[in-house]
Amino acid sequence: MRKRCTCRICKLSRRIKSVRESGTMRQKNILIRDLSESLFNTEHDLDWHQSVLNGSWPQAEEILTRSLVSARKIREEYVGHERT
């Protein structure tokens, strides 16, 4: 028997298929509500990230500066592990 992927997308896809094929109206309404909330949250996060990257968010410079420091630290650790 094949193992099922447990990533969020695969689990959600199985849920959608199951509800679409044999779910009650209540289950379908709950699924639509859950998907709507997820879409709203994803769009909100995307808008925020775009605002930071394009510099229109008030603290964009500080956020990007901290992110660059973190990225450099991660890169240095990664490069250090490659050598060993």
pLDDT band at 1 (very low <50, low <70, confident <90, very high): confident
Would residue 25 count as lying in a domain? yes
Residue pair 31/15 in contact (Cβ under 8 Å)? The answer is: yes
Would residue 2 count as lying in a domain? no
Give the residue-averaged pLDDT of 38-66: 97
Domain range holding 41?
8-83
Would residue 53 count as lying in a domain? yes
Decide if pLDDT at 84 tops 60.
no
The DSSP result for 23-52, as a single string, is: --HHHHHHHHHHHHHHHHHHHHHHHHHHHH
The pTM (predicted TM-score) of the whole model is 0.67
| pLDDT score, position 78 | 86
Average pLDDT, the chain: 94
Q: Round to whole Å and give the CA distance between 58 and 41.
A: 21
Fill in the amino acid letter for 64: L
Q: Round to whole Å and give the CA distance between 16 and 41.
A: 19
Question: What's the structural domain count of the chain?
Answer: 1
Would residue 38 count as lying in a domain? yes
